[in-house]
Amino acid sequence: MRLALKVNGSPRVVAAVDGPGYLSAHLNLCERPKDNEYSKIVRLVGTQTLETETVRFEWPEFDLQVGDIAELSLLNDGAADPPSTVRKSSESPHNLFSHPELAREVLSVISDFESRLMQMLDKSKAVESA
């Protein structure tokens, strides 16, 4: 997946996510007088969803002015600009497990348990009255 962003005809960034996931563009207008927040920005973000990890990519955001034209182009797979930020779920300090192998083992145990539980449910339905 690959997107190109132009602002007023000038190329700004090409973003890509390889493999399964999401790639999106955000045009955000913010007007919050109580918080003294005002902005007009466009940015591209991506999420790669791997089997045991999620990776979030962020490219630079660009300020806009009234009258600006933000143009997106959907491109074939290929080269892209490097993201300004990459965050991997495996590096999050909020993870339950810090070792991927232990996390895989827990997921396997949970999957086996779920399968056995569903078998018991099917057996119960066959033996017990509604």
Q: Dump pLDDT digits (tens) for 5-47.
A: 999 999 999 999 998 999 999 999 998 989 998 999 999 999 9
pLDDT at 80: 96
94 DSSP assignment: T
Tokens found for residue 14: 């090409």
CB contact at 8 A, 41 and 64: yes
Task: Please give the model's pTM, rounded to 2 decimal places.
Answer: 0.66
pLDDT at 105: 87
42, with CB counted inside 10 A (0-12, 13-18, 19+), is buried
What is the total residue count of the chain? Answer: 130
Q: Dump pLDDT digits (tens) for 69-100.
A: 999 999 999 999 999 999 988 777 676 676 77
